[in-house]
Amino acid sequence: MSTSVSAPLSSSAKAGLSLGALGVVFGDIGTSPLYAMRECMAHLPAVTQEAGVLGILSLIFWSLVLVVSVKYIWFVMRADNHGEGGIFALLALINGGKAASPEGAQGGARRGLGPAVIMILIGAALLYGDGIITPAISVLGAAEGFNAISPVFTPYVVPMACLILAGLFWFQHKGTQSIGRIFGPVMLLWFAVLATLGAWHLREYPSILRALNPVHGFALLKNAPGQVATLLGAVVLAITGAEALYADMGHFGRRYIALAWYAVAFPGLVLNYFGQGAFILAHPQSIENPFFALAPAGIGRFALTILSIVAAVIASQALISGAYSLTRQAIQLGYFPRLKINYTNAQHSGQIFVPFVNRLLAIGAILTVIYFGSSDRLASAYGIAVTGTMAITTIAFYLVARRNRGWSLWSAVPICGVFLLVDLAFFGSNAHKLAEGGWFPLAIGAGIMAVMHTWKTGREEIFRRVYGNNVTEAELGSIARSQYVTRVNGVAVFMVGSPQGTPIALLHHVKSNRCLHKTVVLLSIMTEEIPTVSATEQLNVREIGEGIWRVTGRYGYMQSPNVGDLLEKTKIAGVPINPRSATYFFNREMIITGGNARMWEWQKNLYGVLSRNARPAKDYYQITPSQIIEIGLPLQL
């Protein structure tokens, strides 16, 4: 079971979290100077070069301020769910922290998939698409750096990128802490180099600092309204990776992510962008690649190229670790089948590794590299998914601010309205990429969305069928007292999805065997929509009568239930059981299609596949296999 994040941290642990955040969270946005300014200059409208450069820098600077510093760090990241971030944290806050069983049954009542839930699921699905594309384009672009060394490497770029990706995803099992320990110092060096090169060239054209005035950005947009879309589509490259700050908050915490941003990442990025602008205006004939032009020719530029390749590989990490966090939350909230989750840091339970998701991301990223073949072609697919998620995050934050934070309409609408206007402007500027490759992350997102919607709908349909005509506790007492039912020695533990329900496995057992153990425990494991539940609030025990007890264990979605440990506490609470000799009864679902369930036929088939391949509940609950009896439960959807 995961440990709590409330334990006090040492100074070295705090420094390690800040450095780890720098390496894991800011890799994507930190490598934007490699191409953002170059792409903006390639789409420069028909204005003077000075007006164009000042306008571009103004748009980049204020985008970083509004989107990253203000929207995410100052506002959205404060809407955390007990320290956990990501778009599913907003969903949990919107739903009010109601309990759910890990099986996906929602507290005994069908919650349904309303418009807000569907919207957030779409945002989460888009992030998975970006989680495949970001590693692919980052590593492929890095491997293409070998072309600058010698054209002889050209045929080997794609195989080299695939090998680098394979190594990157293999390394994930080491955990975010180990990755951050390695990537952090590299990214610290990277941002230091960005700042140094930028500051060095600022002296060539110090008046470039006039771009801090937002008037220059507005003037550029006003003078070239017909080219605004393509220009903003290039400017948005400077902020791709911002959503990862919120998605990865559970790995490191808002405080340490904010510290890394304000102390290192933000000043390094701003100085470098302004240094590139100063260089362009001081050397207007050398603007083909302003980033690499900042370094002295020869060994300096070669060293910067090698460092850029390493940093570009690291840029993949933010989306990879964010996908792990999203997956864990989706599983615990009932939107994704059960998967194995490894906790990789005993001091910080937000740091996890999900092997199945890692394999899917690895396969997806490698196949993407092979399919597109070059970063130029892949760039057409880049940006549309993450900007769509940014807009959805803003809308979800508005709902949380109004429902949970008590914001007035007059406070929430202006603030969220400004954020949404910026998000939609960037999303619209990427819409033209749809036919050129932007369909790719949308297709991935559609597939993930189908899985989440099908699993949630299927679980709720099964919950309705299994517990819709439930046997009451009074009727259960009558069954236990019946002269036709023999009470035998021992303890039987029946897992039940609802704390008010009677498990089908118990009824089948009594009907088939005409017997019932002298001590019966109806055990419900409920997942709260908060990260952790304290040990004092974890257990609830109630005696029904006739040797039957109802036990409810409550866990947060960052915790893994341990039934053996829970029953030891139940014994201490007065229930006459021996956990080591108890027999556990589980339902074994056997999905049959062709019924009248409110699902499409393809969804019924997909749910059957997902159910058969989900991690067995008995493994999820950490129970000794020799103590388990499974009873088949045919269910026709």
Give the tokens for residue 586.
Answer: 């589980």
Backbone φ and ψ of 518, nearest 5°: -65, -30
Q: Which pLDDT belongs to residue 146?
A: 74
Are 251 and 350 in contact, with CB atoms under 8 Å apart? yes
- Least Cα distance to 239 among 406, 39, 26, 407 occurs for 26
Q: For residues 63 and 238, is the Cβ–Cβ distance under 8 A?
A: yes
What is the reported pLDDT for 105?
37
* Average pLDDT, 10 consecutive residues per value, the chain (637 residues): 45 76 85 86 82 94 96 92 80 67 41 76 87 85 73 86 90 74 87 96 93 93 77 88 82 87 96 96 80 86 85 79 82 84 66 88 93 80 83 93 89 95 91 82 90 90 71 86 91 85 82 91 83 84 93 80 88 91 86 85 91 77 83 81
Q: DSSP letter string over 41-110?
A: HHT--SS-HHHHHHHHHHHHHHHIIIIIIIIIIIIGGGS-BTTB-SHHHHHHHHTTS--B-TTS--TTS-
637 DSSP 8-state letter: -
Place of tokens 């590693």: 135
Q: In 283-334, which ranges are continuous DSSP H helix? A: 290-293, 299-314, 317-332
d(CA 79, CA 246): 10
Give yes or no for a contact between 397 and 91, defined as CB atoms under 8 angstroms apart: no
Torsion of CA 113, 117, 119, 124, to 10 degrees: -120
Q: What is the pLDDT of residue 300?
A: 85
Cβ proximity of 279 and 53 under 8 Å: no
Question: Are the CB atoms for 132 and 168 separated by under 8 Å?
Answer: no
Give pTM, 2 decimals: 0.78
Burial class (CB in 10 A: 0-12, 13-18, 19+), 234: buried
- In order of their start, the domains of the chain are 13-459 (1.20.1740.10), 469-636 (no CATH)
Coil, helix or strand for 145?
Answer: coil
* CB count in 10 Å sphere of residue 97: 13
Return the bridge partners of 583, or none.
492
